[in-house]
């Protein structure tokens, strides 16, 4: 006997899981399409050199690698690797299919990615990302529309309180320079600043010193970051960076994004937060992260990455994207009871029962007729006691059982039993579809 | 610069591809649901021992294997493997989640599988299967409903002429035994008989002799198989196997399936073909294959496999399934122009244009309003000459461009230009959604 559990950190999705997942994916995809984003799909496996070196040291370690095949299998070498995110494949696609794609390419992609991370609560080795990206333009309309699209998607799923934290890589650079942190220490300082939520001002202050940032720079930084973000934060940051060119242009960009968002579904959602850093190294401009109250971590994030595609295309191609994490959205929706009660979870509207084996042909005929009226119909495949079949339907929440007795078959009738009310009616076969639909719809409200 | 092509035998799906694929998957899933099948999804990667030894020698060779990670990576050993079909994962799921699943479990699963086959026209290393299986009962209603479901799915996609070839593993055994072929030679003889389509009676006759089947057995076999399948084939097979117990019960099963199918969407589609063998070794009962005229090979196939799940569950659990191959369906539909002309392929219904950067906020407002009326709206993100933006919309088949001039913005108006007719109208913003919908719907017919 073989082991029966799925691979570590991966999950089987039983029907109820798939229905919930498909519902959420459908809503998100629908909103993305409303914003003019088009669907893209890429293979689960990429040539290994496509992925290596794109995600930093940790990424290289967490990539699932696929063994060469045939005579090369014994070499123990890998030539393929599983998709690690949806951004690098997009960059590759932009280079490979440039001629077939429009100058402004807005795509969404909702597919699984794989990371050999240590599994933990809510952290899996196979999980879905729901990405939107715009490739081509650099105008702040792009960022505003991305924020609007993910805001509208979350609102459509029933999220009421969420916030998009917004910052800019250029501003972070300007702030660090203005505080006198040498360029070589920027990356390290950002890692420390990113922990402000968890460690507080004192903790971060200590860590900055440990990371070799000088005391006077630490003091200046915490002057700025120690103040909770507010409507004045942009002005405070502006005062901080003074006439630093990169900083000034970053602030102008951020102000444009905030202003534009006032006219979109992201209105009132965006909060400038100078301490937001985002881990990925490929960001070059605005960065965003979406949070909900009472949930550690984020539901998604993104930013502008104007240089990544150039690694594949051989020419710079600006881009900006936002990614929603499906698994966390599902966890929150499950915990907070956010799935619509009308989401059909039962396997069928009608169970066609069968008392004797020689009624099977009749049962299939009844099923055909009911399906033609748009109903989802399961045929109980074995002849069995009617009580047992009703029990099966009831356990599976199928609202109606069609009963074919000898009398009914001879008369061309069918008896319909509605399990919620116990009500039962005998109708002619050509009336059956309409009868079930009325009653089932009524019962569902 | 990195390579930009996808991995060998795998494909990028650009928006038009994804839309076609999603359309076909949606139709198939919808029909499967109408038959009471429920969705299931399993991980892309399985523990390697789950897959090894389930698909025969060739299968083992074609499985993509995933290298162990961390300190074990250097060992060159694999502990995971990519899903090779959807049947073995179902068998594992039945064993793992038995308590959570109903006694009669009808599931569909539409997911990619991976095989390291040599790529060829229409043969890929990543491809989708659309499976339906019923686990639990052994009644012929199961086979009849499976044939009905795939028939209805193909019909819903617009396939008019297709045929389900039907045979039975038990009947094949009985025929070979009745012809005097020793049991040890059955598998080999079936491989030869399976080639009747390609090699003809003489070729197969020769191959059977080469495979060690005795002359008198070959002659008897070709007596039966040399006659093209017809309405009398079942009777001919019955005469051939006489009172062979397994053969008689197989024939009874086949007759029941054919009779029951007369009342379903598979009516008139089923043709008994005693030469159908099907490659996979795990089949135990009825086997099916679906063919369309002028297409070599099949669109899908399936059969009963009553012992496979027992390899995982430790107890026999009968099952029967049918699998449609998505890629071949797409190829045929593409070649024969079967995609509905109403399938929306354009990225948006309206392009909101922008002549000056300071009109961006206005453009986003117009987009928000149009989206609220259900339209798909793309905002052209850069200020640009109107001619260029209209050209962009035209190239992308976006039927309408919303133009915001200074005058319009001041008055709260928007000008709508319909590209097909060249017609143009200026309306108030609150009328714009309805105006576009009327005109675009009209133009689409």
A25 at B interface, C-beta within 8 A:
no
Judge whether B139 lies within some domain: yes
Average pLDDT over residues B144-163: 97
Q: Are residues A243 and A328 in the same domain?
A: yes
Residues of A in contact with B256 (CB under 8 A): 360
A53 confidence band (pLDDT: 50, 70, 90): confident
Q: Residue B97 is nearest to which of A14, A19, A36, comparing CB atoms?
A: A14
Name which of A61, A72, A95, A381 to mutate to probe chain B: the one with the most chain B Cβ atoms within 10 A of its Cβ: A381
Q: Identify the closest residue of chain A to B266 by CA–CA distance.
A: A368
Q: Are residues B85 and B139 in the same domain?
A: yes
Residue A28 zone, left/alpha/beta (φ > 0; ψ -120 to 50; rest): alpha
For the question of whether the overall pTM of this predicted structure is more than 0.90, the answer is yes
Q: Identify the closest residue of chain A to B378 by CA–CA distance.
A: A36
Q: How many angstroms separate the CA of residue B184 from the nearest CA in chain A?
A: 26
Judge whether A411 lies within some domain: yes
- pLDDT tens-digit profile of A104-162? 999 999 999 999 999 988 889 999 999 999 999 999 999 999 999 999 999 999 999 99
The pLDDT, as a whole number, for residue A130 is 98
A121 at B interface, C-beta within 8 A:
no
Residue B1 has pLDDT above 60, yes or no: no
The pLDDT, as a whole number, for residue B229 is 79
What does pLDDT average to over chain B? 93
Q: How many angstroms separate the CA of residue A367 from the nearest CA in chain B?
A: 8
DSSP 3-state assignment of A79? strand
Among B282, B304, B335, residue at a domain's last position: B335
A269 at B interface, C-beta within 8 A:
no
Judge whether B9 lies within some domain: no
Beta carbons of B82 and B48 less than 8 angstroms apart: no
Q: How far is CA B56 from CA A239, A259, A317, B279, B317, in A?
A: 71, 63, 48, 10, 21
Q: Residue A42 is nearest to which of B6, B362, B382, comparing CB atoms?
A: B6
Query: Strands of A38-39's sheet, edge to edge?
Result: A38-39, A105-114, A126-135, A319-325, A300-304, A286-291, A163-168, A270-272
Phi and psi of A102, rounded to 5°?
-70, 165
B244 confidence band (pLDDT: 50, 70, 90): very high
CB count in 10 Å sphere of residue A175: 27
Name beta bridge partners: A308. none
Judge whether A309 lies within some domain: yes
Residue A316 has pLDDT above 90, yes or no: yes
Token readout for B281 is 């070794």
A76 at B interface, C-beta within 8 A:
yes
Q: Please, which residues 347-366 of chain B have a Cβ atom closer than 8 Å to chain A? A: 347-348, 351, 354, 357, 360-365
- Helix (H) or strand (E) holding A128, with range, is strand A126-135
Q: Are residues A354 and A329 in the same domain?
A: no
| Residues contacting B279, CB < 8 A, separation 6+ | B194
DSSP 3-state assignment of B228? coil
- Alpha-carbon distance of B278 to B125, in angstroms, equals 21
Residue A445 has pLDDT above 60, yes or no: no
Q: Are residues B320 and B374 in the same domain?
A: no
The pLDDT, as a whole number, for residue A434 is 95
- pLDDT tens-digit profile of B340-385? 988 878 899 999 999 888 889 999 999 999 999 999 999 999 989 9
Among B335, B369, B390, residue at a domain's last position: B335
Beta carbons of B179 and B303 less than 8 angstroms apart: no
Judge whether B51 lies within some domain: yes
- Alpha-carbon distance of B208 to B220, in angstroms, equals 12
HEC assignment per residue over B322-353 = EEEEHHHHHHHHHHCCCCCCCCCCCCCCEEEC
Token readout for B382 is 């850069």
Q: Are residues A401 and A432 in the same domain?
A: yes
Q: Are residues B326 and B402 in the same domain?
A: no
Average pLDDT over residues A362-385: 94
Among A303, A335, A367, residue at a domain's last position: A335
What does pLDDT average to over chain A? 93
C-alpha closest to that of A100 among B410, B17, B325: B17
ipTM over 0.90: yes
A420 confidence band (pLDDT: 50, 70, 90): very high
The pLDDT, as a whole number, for residue B90 is 97
Beta carbons of B331 and B295 less than 8 angstroms apart: no
Name which of A66, A84, A269 to mutate to probe chain B: the one with the most chain B Cβ atoms within 10 A of its Cβ: A66
Residue B15 has pLDDT above 80, yes or no: yes
C-alpha closest to that of A256 among B381, B81, B141, B369: B381
Length of chain B: 445
Q: Residue B45 is nearest to which of A7, A36, A97, comparing CB atoms?
A: A7
Rounded (10°) angle between helices A15-34 and A326-335 = 120
A–B CB contacts, 8 A cutoff, strictly below = 323
Name which of B12, B152, B317 to mutate to probe chain A: the one with the most chain A Cβ atoms within 10 A of its Cβ: B12
With an 8 Å Cβ cutoff, are A44 and B140 in contact? no
Domain with residue B211: its CATH number is 3.30.930.10
Judge whether A104 lies within some domain: yes
Q: Are residues A331 and A354 in the same domain?
A: no
Task: Provide the domain limits for residue B64.
Answer: 15-335
Q: Are residues B301 and B384 in the same domain?
A: no
Q: How many angstroms separate the CA of residue A238 from the nearest CA in chain B?
A: 22
Q: How many angstroms separate the CA of residue B13 from the nearest CA in chain A?
A: 5
With an 8 Å Cβ cutoff, are A61 and B42 in contact? no
What domain count does chain A have?
2
The pLDDT, as a whole number, for residue B445 is 55
- Alpha-carbon distance of B18 to B28, in angstroms, equals 15
Token readout for A278 is 């985002």
Lowest mean pLDDT among A206-215, B88-97, B408-417: B408-417
- The secondary structure of B93-149 as a DSSP string is HHHHTGGGS-SSEEEEEEEEEE--PPPBTTB-SEEEEEEEEEES--SHHHHHHHHHH
- pLDDT tens-digit profile of B188-223? 898 888 888 888 889 999 999 999 899 999 999 988
Residues of A in contact with B266 (CB under 8 A): none
Task: State the burial class of residue A1 (Cβ atoms within 10 Å of its Cβ: 0-12, 13-18, 19+).
Answer: exposed
Residues of B in contact with A383 (CB under 8 A): 139
Checking B60-65 for CB contacts under 8 A at 24+ apart, the result is B61/A69, B61/A70, B61/B116, B62/A69, B62/B115, B62/B116, B62/B117, B63/B115, B63/B116, B64/A45, B64/A66, B64/A67, B64/A69, B64/A80, B64/B114, B64/B115, B64/B116, B65/A66, B65/A67, B65/A69, B65/A73
With an 8 Å Cβ cutoff, are B12 and A116 in contact? no
Lowest mean pLDDT among A26-35, A333-342, B262-271, B340-349: B340-349
Q: Identify the closest residue of chain A to B112 by CA–CA distance.
A: A44
A343 confidence band (pLDDT: 50, 70, 90): confident
Q: Are residues A331 and A359 in the same domain?
A: no
Q: Residue B379 is nearest to which of A82, A141, A314, comparing CB atoms?
A: A141
- pLDDT tens-digit profile of A219-269? 999 888 888 878 788 999 999 999 999 999 999 999 999 999 999 999 999
Judge whether B385 lies within some domain: yes
- The secondary structure of A204-256 as a DSSP string is HHHHHHHTT--HHHHHHHHHHHTSPP-TTHHHHHHHHHTT-HHHHHHHHHHHH
Q: Residue B378 is nearest to which of A66, A73, A106, comparing CB atoms?
A: A106
With an 8 Å Cβ cutoff, are B65 and A65 in contact? no
Beta carbons of B29 and B108 less than 8 angstroms apart: yes
Beta carbons of A393 and A377 less than 8 angstroms apart: no
- Helix (H) or strand (E) holding A300, with range, is strand A300-304
- Alpha-carbon distance of A107 to A320, in angstroms, equals 11
A311 at B interface, C-beta within 8 A:
yes
- Alpha-carbon distance of A321 to A315, in angstroms, equals 19
Name beta bridge partners: A378. A351
Q: How many angstroms separate the CA of residue A213 from the nearest CA in chain B?
A: 33
Q: Are residues A306 and A366 in the same domain?
A: no
Q: Identify the closest residue of chain A to B11 by CA–CA distance.
A: A43
Query: Strands of A45-47's sheet, edge to edge?
Result: A45-47, A78-82, A65-67, B65-67, B78-82, B45-47
Beta carbons of B382 and B443 less than 8 angstroms apart: no
Domain with residue B372: its CATH number is 3.40.50.800
Q: Are residues B300 and B185 in the same domain?
A: yes
CA angle B191–B193–B196, rounded 5-degree value: 120
Q: Are residues B312 and B387 in the same domain?
A: no
Tokens 């019960």 sit on residue:
B249
- Helix (H) or strand (E) holding A168, with range, is strand A163-168
Average pLDDT over residues B299-311: 94
Average pLDDT over residues A318-336: 96
With an 8 Å Cβ cutoff, are A259 and B361 in contact? yes
Judge whether B247 lies within some domain: yes
C-alpha closest to that of A313 among A169, A138, A135: A135
B411 confidence band (pLDDT: 50, 70, 90): confident
A388 at B interface, C-beta within 8 A:
no
- Alpha-carbon distance of A113 to A108, in angstroms, equals 15
Task: State the burial class of residue B231 (Cβ atoms within 10 Å of its Cβ: 0-12, 13-18, 19+).
Answer: exposed
C-alpha closest to that of B312 among B278, B279, B282: B282
A397 at B interface, C-beta within 8 A:
no
B386 confidence band (pLDDT: 50, 70, 90): very high
- pLDDT tens-digit profile of B52-100? 988 877 788 899 999 999 889 889 999 999 999 999 999 999 999 999 9
Residues of A in contact with B102 (CB under 8 A): 392, 395-396
């Amino acid at each position: 006997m073989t082991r029966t559990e799925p691979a570590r950190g991966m999950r089987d999705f039983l029907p109820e899981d798939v229905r919930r997942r498909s519902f959420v994916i459908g809503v998100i995809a629908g909103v993305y399409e409303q914003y003019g984003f088009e669907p893209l799909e890429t293979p689960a496996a990429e040539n290994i050199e496509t992925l290596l070196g794109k995600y930093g040291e940790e990424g290289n370690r967490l990539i699932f690698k696929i063994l060469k095949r045939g005579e090369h299998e014994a070499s123990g070498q890998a030539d393929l690797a599983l998709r690690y995110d949806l951004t690098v494949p997009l960059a590759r696609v932009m280079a490979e299919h440039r001629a077939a794609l429009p100058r402004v390419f807005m795509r969404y992609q909702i597919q699984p990615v794989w990371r050999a991370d240590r599994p933990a609560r809510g952290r899996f080795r196979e999980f879905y990302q729901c990405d939107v990206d715009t490739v081509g333009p650099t105008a702040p309309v792009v960022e505003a529309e991305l924020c609007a699209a993910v805001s509208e998607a979350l609102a459509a799923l029933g999220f009421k309180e969420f916030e998009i934290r917004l910052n800019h890589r250029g501003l972070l650079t300007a702030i660090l320079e203005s505080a006198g942190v040498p360029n070589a220490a920027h990356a390290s300082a950002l890692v420390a600043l990113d922990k402000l939520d968890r460690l507080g001002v004192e903790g971060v202050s200590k860590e900055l010193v440990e990371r070799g940032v000088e005391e006077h720079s630490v003091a200046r930084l915490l002057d700025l970051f120690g103040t909770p973000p507010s409507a004045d934060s942009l002005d405070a940051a502006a005062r901080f960076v003074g006439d630093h060119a990169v900083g000034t242009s970053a602030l102008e960009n951020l102000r444009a994004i905030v202003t534009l968002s006032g006219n979109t579904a992201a209105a009132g959602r965006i909060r400038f937060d100078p301490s937001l850093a985002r881990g990925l190294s490929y960001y070059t401009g605005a960065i965003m992260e979406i949070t909900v109250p009472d949930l550690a971590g984020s539901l998604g994030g993104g930013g502008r990455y104007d240089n990544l595609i150039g690694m594949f295309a051989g020419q710079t191609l600006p881009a900006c994207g936002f990614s929603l994490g499906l698994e966390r959205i599902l966890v929150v929706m499950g915990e907070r009871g956010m799935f619509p009660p009308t989401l059909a979870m039962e396997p069928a509207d009608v169970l066609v029962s069968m008392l004797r084996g020689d009624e099977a042909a009749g049962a299939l005929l009844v099923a055909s007729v009911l399906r033609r009226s748009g109903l989802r119909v399961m045929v109980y495949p074995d002849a069995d006691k009617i009580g047992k079949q009703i029990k099966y339907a009831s356990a599976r929440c199928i609202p109606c059982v069609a009963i074919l007795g000898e009398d009914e078959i001879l008369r061309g009738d069918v008896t319909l039993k509605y399990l919620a009310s116990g009500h039962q009616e005998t109708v002619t076969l050509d009336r059956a579809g309409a009868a079930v639909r009325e009653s089932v719809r009524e019962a569902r409200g």
